[in-house]
């Protein structure tokens, strides 16, 4: 079975596709697998680093207002359709699986026109524009949340949950403590604002640091800053040496961070939320306010309604709110209740279910 995976734009689209590809290869080590996505996105580096082949297209997003850039992007989009057609012709896939985002659209659309079997997976509560349009052409649809089914044509959609990498479920606490230079026996808070990081959360935590030793007692931190704020974060932690804080640009192996964390401060991308369910990490969710279609706030709402997380709007986050929320998450009773609710929400074996549907 030859499978082409189409993904890109953010980690929330890329990592589920990788999890599916790994499941496919677990079933058949010799199965031909190829990934496609945007030439200029983060997908190529992430995918090739894991040993998969990648063929890029010149996909470009349309901006949701009239702008001259959309005129230019229109020509790149047309070109990306031809590039995707060539990739499909050369690779000759039996099935094309898309995981959302503008970078996935050309390959899935052209595969549908060519009569290939196609499947799209929607990780968010409310589908993005690419998957909404593709839903009328594809063979099957899978979704991460029950609430998503109503947005798609009747009879096509199966709720599977969102795929995660199996490495996230391994208990590697000793390895994680060593990796981040942390002490055992202390509460650990993970600040990980997503694959593109988040400057607003970084700025707030810089305000929190001078107060952390007294107001979030006995706690150490893992702080993923992204590239732009890394140097400033290193300087700030050096100025506040009473607080143990491991500063990193990016966390490639999130499993190592999750297994040592007692609470998290994170964005609300669908992939992140599924990981929180799987590992049972009580968290403060700060949805990215500029996410397409405001999908992160809608994702987070489901967790807030279930009592599985604390949700604060980006505009409402400040040092006092941060400190109060983290202290609440670290309270034994709250922590245990949230863990149980998260575990109850988790739909396991999602990659297996999706591959079963795709190959069926």
- Rounded to 5 degrees, what are φ and ψ at 159? -85, 120
Query: Looking at residues 1-6, what average pLDDT do you find?
Result: 96
Q: Each residue of 261-287: b (16+ CB within 10 Å) or e?
A: bbbbbbbbbbbbbbbbbbbbbbbbbbb
Common-topology check for domains 3-159 and 167-345: yes
HSE toward the beta carbon, residue 273, CA cutoff 13 A: 32
Q: What is the pLDDT of residue 66?
A: 58
Query: Looking at residues 36-63, what average pLDDT do you find?
Result: 87
Q: State the chain's mean pLDDT as an integer.
A: 91
Query: Looking at residues 49-78, what average pLDDT do you find?
Result: 75
pLDDT above 90 covers a percentage of the chain that reads 71
Architecture in CATH of 167-345 = 3-Layer(aba) Sandwich (3.40)
Q: pLDDT digit string (tens) for 308-320?
A: 999 999 999 999 9
Q: pLDDT digit string (tens) for 252-262?
A: 888 999 999 99
Please tell me the distance from the alpha carbon of residue 17 to that of residue 28, in angstroms, as a whole number.
Answer: 16
Q: What is the pLDDT of residue 41?
A: 84
Angle at 279 between CA 274 and CA 285, to 5 degrees: 55
227: which strand partners?
Answer: none
Q: Using 50, 70 and 90 to split pLDDT, how confident is the model at 275?
A: very high
Q: Looking at the predicted structure, is the pLDDT value of residue 90 above 70?
A: yes
Residue spans of the domains in the chain: they are 3-159, 167-345
Taking the chain, what is the end-to-end CA distance rounded to the nearest angstrom?
Answer: 11
SS3 (DSSP) at 26: helix
Question: Mean pLDDT: which of 60-74, 145-159, 314-328 is highest?
Answer: 314-328
Pick the CATH number of 3-159 from 3.40.50.300, 3.30.1330.10, 3.40.50.2000, 3.30.1330.40: 3.40.50.2000
Q: DSSP of 263-320, one letter per residue?
A: EEEE---HHHHHHHHHHT--EEE---TTSGGGHHHHHHHHHHHTTSSEE--GGG--HH
pTM here is: 0.83
Q: Looking at the predicted structure, is the pLDDT value of residue 195 above 70?
A: no
Q: What is the pLDDT of residue 151?
A: 95
Q: CA separation (Å) from 225 to 182, 251, 260, 286, 354?
A: 17, 10, 18, 15, 33
Q: Looking at the predicted structure, is the pLDDT value of residue 62 above 60?
A: no
């Amino acid at each position: 079975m030859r499978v082409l995976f189409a993904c890109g734009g953010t980690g929330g689209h890329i990592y589920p596709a990788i999890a599916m590809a790994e499941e496919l290869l677990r079933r058949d080590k010799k199965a031909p697998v190829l990934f496609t996505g945007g030439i200029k996105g983060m997908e190529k580096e992430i995918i090739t680093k894991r040993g998969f082949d990648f063929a890029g297209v010149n996909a470009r997003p349309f901006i949701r207002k009239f702008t001259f850039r959309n005129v230019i992007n229109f020509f790149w989009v047309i070109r990306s359709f031809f590039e995707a057609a060539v990739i499909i012709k050369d690779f000759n896939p039996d099935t094309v699986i898309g995981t959302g985002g503008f970078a996935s659209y050309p390959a899935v659309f052209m595969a549908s026109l060519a009569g290939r079997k196609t499947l799209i997976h929607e990780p968010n509560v409310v589908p993005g524009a690419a998957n909404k349009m593709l839903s009328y052409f594809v063979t099957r649809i899978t979704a991460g949340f029950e609430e998503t089914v109503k947005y798609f044509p009747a009879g096509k959609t199966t709720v599977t949950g969102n795929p995660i990498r199996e490495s996230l479920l391994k208990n590697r606490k000793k390895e994680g403590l060593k990796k981040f230079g942390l002490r055992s026996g202390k509460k650990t808070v993970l600040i990980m604002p997503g694959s593109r990081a988040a400057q607003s959360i970084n700025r707030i935590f810089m305000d929190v640091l001078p107060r952390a030793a007294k107001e979030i007692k006995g706690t150490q931190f893992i702080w993923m800053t992204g590239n732009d704020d890394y140097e400033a974060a290193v300087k700030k932690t050096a100025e506040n040496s009473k607080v143990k804080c491991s500063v990193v640009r990016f966390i490639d192996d999130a499993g190592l961070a999750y297994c040592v964390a007692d609470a998290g401060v994170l964005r609300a991308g669908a992939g992140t939320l599924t990981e929180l369910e799987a590992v049972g990490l009580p968290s403060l969710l700060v949805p990215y306010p500029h996410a397409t279609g405001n999908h992160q706030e809608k994702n987070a709402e489901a967790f807030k309604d279930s009592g599985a997380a604390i949700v604060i709007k980006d505009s409402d986050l400040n040092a006092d709110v941060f400190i109060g929320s983290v202290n609440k998450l670290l309270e034994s009773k709250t922590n245990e209740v949230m863990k149980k609710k998260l575990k109850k929400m988790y739909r396991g074996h999602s990659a297996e279910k999706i591959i079963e549907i795709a190959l069926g």
